[in-house]
Amino acid sequence: MTTKSKRSATGRPVDVLGPRALNRATLARQLLLRPAPVSVREAVGHLVGLQAQNVKPPYYALAARLDGFTPEALSGPMADREVVRIVTLRSTIHTHTADDCLTLRPLVQPARDRELTLFRKGLAGVDLDRLAALARELVEEEPRTMKQLREALLAHWPDADPQALGVAARCKLPLVQITPRGLWGRSGLVTLTTAEHWLGRPAEPAPETPDATVLRYLAAFGPASVKDMQTWAGLTRLRPAFERLRTRLVTFRDESGTELFDLPDA
């Protein structure tokens, strides 16, 4: 239940959301209260992507959400390059719309750069800008498996750790898994090329602020705290974005006192 039993630092009453209220809000935002009469592309866009570390989970996730969903409803847009599989949030493979692939991946680049520091020992002496240029040339010339890409890069840096070279390519470039990987009832090796090459258009420049993504996150996951979104995105220092947006948002507290943000009409 929602009560007004707490007050903010300004003395104003603050709505407190209990576990049931938060549970129902999350289920509603996630399209899990009742089958949603929307398309796969609309659902994937609303949810800002679906975790897809394995092939089948996005199909199960959509089957639980959409009215009349069939596996072909996702396989079709994936084959038509309207949705793609790519490492984005939390260094995990997600299924995104093509538009989100080209905008979210630049946004989370700082997280991919931080991930690379974990492999610096295996990348000693490696020029990462040159590696990115070589890897782009290789996968755009011909889609390649990660094993093939590692072997090609190892020829240039024979003393480097092969796994680290592969991670560096994945972190420096927006590498998508091309079909038939990801299609229902089909099999195929994980074969990679760049998002730009696969989709036939350039990626968007990294946004100056994450504000637009904060609003989309709240639409799909709110009410939520700053830490909630940071965990979801694998990013840090998102507090300034929430503060810039504060006048456009409503706020609550959970029973432990954590501040929660939400869209006013959600």
Tell me whether residue 73 is in a domain. no
- Rounded Cα distance between 193 and 145, Å, is 9
Tell me whether residue 1 is in a domain. yes
pTM for the complete prediction? Answer: 0.90
Tell me whether residue 84 is in a domain. no
Count of C-beta atoms within a 10 Å radius of residue 178: 21
Tell me whether residue 145 is in a domain. no
The beta-strand segments (E) located in 159-242 are 175-177, 191-194
Sequence-distant (≥ 6) Cβ neighbours of residue 83 within 8 angstroms: 40, 41, 44, 74, 77, 95, 96, 97, 98
Identify the H or E element spanning 164: helix 162-172
Per-residue pLDDT of the chain (266 residues; tens, 9 = 90+): 454 555 444 445 569 999 999 999 999 999 999 999 999 999 999 999 999 999 999 999 999 999 999 999 999 999 999 999 999 999 999 999 999 999 999 999 999 999 999 999 999 999 999 999 999 999 999 999 999 999 999 999 999 999 999 999 999 999 999 999 999 999 889 999 999 999 999 988 888 999 999 999 999 999 999 999 999 999 999 999 999 999 999 999 999 999 999 999 88
Beta bridge partners of 262: 250
Length of the chain (residues) = 266
Q: How many domains does the chain have?
A: 1
Tell me whether residue 262 is in a domain. yes
Tell me whether residue 259 is in a domain. yes
Count of C-beta atoms within a 10 Å radius of residue 142: 9
| Host domain of residue 247 | 1-30+209-266
